[in-house]
Amino acid sequence: MSSSQVSSDDFPRLVGAENFDVWKTRVCAALDGKHVLGYVMKPDYDGVSEDESDESESDIDDEELKPTSDSDEESGSSSDTSIKSKDLPVVRPFSQAQERKRKNKEKRKPLSKRQLRRREALTVAFLMKTIDNTHVRLVKYQTTAYLIFQFICKKYE
């Protein structure tokens, strides 16, 4: 198993009210790490979260984000380490960055129905592995990860 995959063996099983809060926190964190938390939080989740991070789509280098010191230029002294204009990062207007993010969001293709079903099934399987037999019997007729998770949460919250 790769290091990015989370095993349900790492979680204590839900056995009742005494460990529900810890179970819920760990399950939510694991599902979020797998990018499937929406399947237990929204009834008709389409696989794309509204608050997905746009950081990975940024084309700005880390070097461009570092502030530069203008103290030498302001004081009037010149030194061998002065920054030349060709070395300065290009400053982009905030609206241009927002426009780029909006376009990237529009370009995202929704998951296919097959991919949605597969991710839903993986989420259900993960939830089933993290609960004990009593809870499996309670939720065995629930058809989606959302219904299973909400049923358990209503029982203990």
Decide if 63 is inside a domain. no
Report, as an integer, the average pLDDT of 28-55: 80
Query: Greater confidence, 1 or 30?
Result: 30
Report, as an integer, the average pLDDT of 24-38: 92
Query: Greater confidence, 71 or 40?
Result: 40
When divided into structural domains, the chain yields a total of: 1
Torsion over CA of 73, 74, 75 and 80, rounded to 10 degrees? -10
Decide if 20 is inside a domain. yes
CA distance 101 to 59: 10
CA distance 138 to 152: 9
Report, as an integer, the average pLDDT of 39-59: 67
Report, as an integer, the average pLDDT of 100-128: 85
Structural domain containing residue 126:
8-45+114-156
CA distance 118 to 102: 28
What is the share, in percent, of the chain residues with pLDDT greater than 70? Answer: 66
pLDDT in tens, 77-112: 555 566 666 777 777 777 777 787 777 766 667 888
Decide if 136 is inside a domain. yes
- What pLDDT, on a 0 to 100 scale, did the predictor assign at position 4? 47
Report, as an integer, the average pLDDT of 21-47: 91
- What pLDDT, on a 0 to 100 scale, did the predictor assign at position 100? 78
Which pLDDT band, with edges at 50, 70 and 90, does 61 fall under? very low
- What pLDDT, on a 0 to 100 scale, did the predictor assign at position 127? 94
Decide if 84 is inside a domain. no
Query: Greater confidence, 87 or 128?
Result: 128
Decide if 34 is inside a domain. yes
Decide if 133 is inside a domain. yes
pTM of this structure:
0.60
Decide if 93 is inside a domain. no
Structural tokens at position 23: 């179970």
Decide if 141 is inside a domain. yes
- In sequence order, the 6+-apart residues with CB closer than 8 A to the CB of 40 are 27, 28, 31, 123, 127, 145, 146, 148, 149, 150
